[in-house]
Amino acid sequence: MEPDVHICMPELPCVVYSFGIANNWLFDDLMLDHGCSVWSFDPSMTVGTHKRRPTHLFEPIGIGASTGVHRGESTLYGGKTDYNMMTLQDLMARYGHTHVDIVRMDVESAEWGVLDQWNRDKMWPRIGQLLLEIHLFKPASSSYQAKPLSASEASTYANTLTSIPMTLFHVAQNKDQSAMVRLHGDMTRVYEIGMIVATTSKTFDAIYASNKWSSSESRSGEGSEMAVTRSVRKCLGEWLVKYDVATFGDACGDANWQSQIQGFRAVRYTGYDVSPNAIRRAKAKNERESNAAFRVMDLSTTVPPKHDLFMVRDVVQHLPWDMGVQLLRNVRRSGAKYLAVSSFPGQSGHDIGVGDFYHNDVYAKPFDVLRLPPAIETCENYDGVHRSMGSKLLLIPLSDGSIFE
């Protein structure tokens, strides 16, 4: 059973390229109904060049890492071997496009060579959103027979995906019977992935510039004021000693309060934020802290360096569900020993846009997919009038995780 395709609908006018149709026009027609102009490609189909609507064009051409005639083992349904293929650059030049809002690609393992070519030729600024079905078997293989991945093959696939400079907003396992072959742990053969060019940095830069969260002390909001972080600072000071923390990573905001944690100067601290504005403010507030460094980084798209303890406090509650899940997944993948994360136990909320707010529970939907271990420490996250919100700072021991978990 193939999962539903998740799409971030683009503003009009929009250009969509769809590769690998297999006589299923559901996605292409949906985008046409939305008002986009759609170009569809599939050399395995028996129909020739045609239009389904005035804003549509189908051509029997394959997407490739080079332009020419494909020869050799086929990845197409039906086994066709000699067919025309073109690079994305050449297709865009053919139709006069400098940017494609959405590229959808389901090409039965041929995607790996194409993605590598896009990485090499730096095509990503020309793509707004990528909807991709990935096939975890050797390129040019037409067989769905069980075949375990070697460590080098798994590493190659992972490196290709993590090189894509987009925000991952959707991952789903394809549960078609032919795809449900276990390759490594819970990893199976086929996944649906959605990626989009992040607007996170601009959104949070605007929040910091406008003081949207209305604190006279910290542009990160009232939750980062000294009076509100009294309990958190005490707990963290105790945890640094109890769990022998030498390196401390933090999704820091403007780092208004962190330097006042007891024992802070005994650790190597690095603060990360997606907003350059926040990092500038953090550096200014902590200019005398020789043990502290600050870096602009989107933790929802980038795996940070390894730290003994990594704190994600009052962050995922401002992110769309998929981005929040991916941020915590990236922290786990970093090899951190412990995660300190804020949570609203037993509370739930709906999905949000970047910079909005909801009550996140890291053990409930959507974070239940991460299967985080039980917390070994719990602390009040807010003091004063905000304590009634019920937010806690949890300390969770981590183990290495997979990007496909």
| Tens of pLDDT, residues 320-340 | 898 999 999 999 999 999 999
Whole-structure pTM value: 0.55
> Of the candidates 297, 300, 296, which has an alpha carbon nearest to the alpha carbon of residue 167?
300
> Of the candidates 321, 233, 324, which has an alpha carbon nearest to the alpha carbon of residue 274?
324
How much of the chain is helix, strand and coil, in % rounded to 5? Answer: 30, 20, 50
Does residue 55 or residue 147 have the better pLDDT? Answer: 55
Distances 361 to 91, 261, 343, 344, 377 between C-alpha atoms, Å? 45, 25, 5, 5, 16
Residue range 335-361: mean pLDDT, rounded? 92
* Phi-psi region at 140: left, alpha or beta (left = phi > 0; alpha = psi -120 to 50): left
108 beta partners = none
Per-residue confidence at 385, pLDDT binned at 50, 70, 90? confident
Query: Identity (one letter) of the amino acid at 380?
Result: E
Position 267 scores a pLDDT of 98
- Opening angle at CA 380, ends 378 and 386, nearest 5: 155
Q: Contact 360/344 with Cβ under 8 angstroms?
A: yes
How crowded is residue 243: how many other Cβ atoms within 10 Å of its Cβ? 15
pLDDT at 383 over 60: yes
Q: Contact 101/126 with Cβ under 8 angstroms?
A: no
How crowded is residue 114: how many other Cβ atoms within 10 Å of its Cβ? 24
Which two tokens mark 92?
A: 């865009």
Position 247 scores a pLDDT of 98
Which two tokens mark 56?
A: 């549509």
Does residue 9 or residue 334 have the better pLDDT? Answer: 334
Cα 252 to chain centroid distance, Å, stands at 19
Domains of the chain by start residue, with CATH: 15-197 (3.40.50), 201-397 (3.40.50.150)
pLDDT at 405 over 70: no
Local structure of 169: helix, strand or coil: strand
Question: Which range among 34-38, 140-144, 189-193, 340-344 shows the weakest confidence by mean pLDDT?
Answer: 140-144
Residue spans of beta strands (DSSP E) within 9-139: 15-19, 37-41, 56-59, 62-63, 68-70, 83-86, 102-105, 129-135
Distances 291 to 264, 271, 310 between C-alpha atoms, Å? 9, 11, 16
Cα 115 to chain centroid distance, Å, stands at 17
Does residue 39 or residue 193 have the better pLDDT? Answer: 39
Instruction: Give the separation between CA 294 and CA 289, rounded to whole angstroms.
Output: 11
List of residues 6+ apart from 290 with CB closer than 8 A: none
Per-residue confidence at 107, pLDDT binned at 50, 70, 90? confident
